[in-house]
Structure 1
Amino acid sequence: MLDIIDVLAQVYRKLPETKNPQALLNRLVNYIRSVALAGRIHFPTNEEKLIADIGILGQRAGLNGVYMADYSAKSQFYSIFEEIPRH
């Protein structure tokens, strides 16, 4: 769960300056789903709806948001100069 929180904070910081916000949101939703599935994390109905709504926005990215992506890689949200929090 801490990894998801870290990624949410990182996306929140990067969203205003990114060139393709739909692709970033698409990767965020795929990451949340992947980590939640692996960790058997279940979200309340209202949070599940928010994730689905963000996923709809992310679908506008098309294939560009997920091409050759490792959904479970936290590093996809950080640049090479940023430290990735480890838990």
Structure 2
Amino acid sequence: MNRSTTHHGKKFSSFFCNLFGHHYIVSKKVTQHIKEYKCSHCQKQVTTDVSGKLSELTPQMQEINSTLEDMYRKRHNRQVPQVA
């Protein structure tokens, strides 16, 4: 994805997002229901919370998502029988 930047950079991106709204793309799939998103313009990071709404991705939320991803992966690997 080619993107031209100006010397105003982040100011223009934040203005664009303030005017038109963020354009979030999935940056990480934690579980089937919880994902982390990143705005393609201003790089703001959000995640889905317990109620399914988007909330800002804080270091505490990153740690929670990481732990949840590990638990989900271990449980999923344990439930799927491995074919020999």
Report the structure, 1 or 2, having the larger strand content: 2
Report the TM-score, using the length of structure 2 for normalisation.
0.32
Q: Which has the higher contact order (CA 8 A, sep 6+)?
A: 1
Larger Rg, first or second structure (1 or 2): 2
Report the TM-score, using the length of structure 1 for normalisation.
0.31
